């Protein structure tokens, strides 16, 4: 047999053996004992939400900042988005995914900030800037690479607003699979 056909047969036999092994692990006992349902978590009190608002804000804003820096700002500064650049299409796809991811995390950070009065006050003027980031993928498709500068500025404003409210944001770069999950 040729090598690819042998590999196919070996994979098929292995799969069948694994399926047969898992089927044999079942129980013939028709009476099963059911575990009692776990207690449902009680909703957080406003004091608990406020206590962790800065932590959640820092985590979400840090992910947004990391994604923006890694897949939007660095390639933009390197000139990867210019017509004819090597890897331009891949960089634009990653930038679009990173932009959607960062927008999602910034909206979550903005929601987290509502539970803390100091953060809410600091982020209030940035709502329109965050909302404008929603259009980054369409701007990239249209060839508007200046949108990257606006994205970077908004991230920097969120970071400085967090720092002024006592919640300094550090960049945390998510993995590529995190970007595709959203």
Tell me what pLDDT residue 13 has. 60
Give 123's contacts (C-beta < 8 A, 6+ positions apart). Answer: 109, 110, 113, 158, 161, 165
Comparing 165 with 24, which gets the higher pLDDT? 165
Position 98 pLDDT exceeds 70: yes
Which segment, 11-20, 56-65, 143-152, is predicted with the most confidence on average?
56-65
Mind listing the pLDDT tens digit for each residue in 44-95? 566 666 668 888 999 999 999 999 899 888 988 898 888 888 998 898 888 8
pLDDT at 6 over 70: no
Residue of 157 and 39 predicted with greater confidence: 157
- Report which of residues 144 and 41 the model is more confident about: 144
- Contacts (Cβ under 8 Å, ≥6 apart) of 49: 115
pTM of the prediction? 0.67
DSSP the chain: --HHHHHHHHHHHHHHHHHHHHHTTS---S--PPPPPPPPPPPPPHHHHHHHHHHHHHHHHHHHHHHHIIIIIHHHHHTTTSTT-TTHHHHHHHHHHHHHHHHHHHHHHHHHHTTSHHHHHHHGGGHHHHHHGGGHHHHHHTT-TTHHHHHHHHHHHHHHHHHHTT------PPPHHHHHH-
Q: Is a pLDDT exceeding 90 seen at residue 31?
A: no
Separation between Cα atoms, residue 77 and residue 181, nearest integer Å: 26
State the average pLDDT over residues 149-174: 87
Annotate 13-30 with three-state secondary structure. HHHHHHHHHHHCCCCCCC
């Amino acid at each position: 047999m040729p090598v690819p056909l042998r590999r196919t047969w070996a994979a098929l036999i292995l799969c069948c053996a694994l399926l047969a092994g898992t089927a044999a692990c079942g129980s013939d006992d028709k009476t099963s004992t059911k575990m009692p349902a776990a207690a449902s978590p009680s909703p957080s009190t406003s004091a608990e939400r406020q206590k962790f608002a800065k932590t959640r804000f820092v985590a979400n804003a840090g992910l947004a900042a990391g994604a923006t820096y890694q897949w939007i700002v660095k390639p933009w500064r390197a000139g990867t988005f210019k017509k004819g650049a090597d890897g331009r299409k891949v960089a634009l796809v990653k930038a679009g995914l990173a932009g959607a991811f960062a927008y999602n995390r910034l909206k979550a950070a903005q929601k987290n900030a509502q539970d803390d009065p100091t953060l809410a006050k600091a982020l209030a003027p940035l709502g329109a800037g965050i909302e404008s980031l929603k259009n980054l993928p369409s701007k990239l498709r249209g060839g508007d690479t200046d949108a990257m500068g606006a994205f970077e500025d908004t991230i920097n404003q969120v970071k400085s607003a967090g720092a002024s409210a006592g919640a300094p944001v550090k960049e945390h770069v998510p993995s590529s699979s995190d970007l595709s999950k959203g």
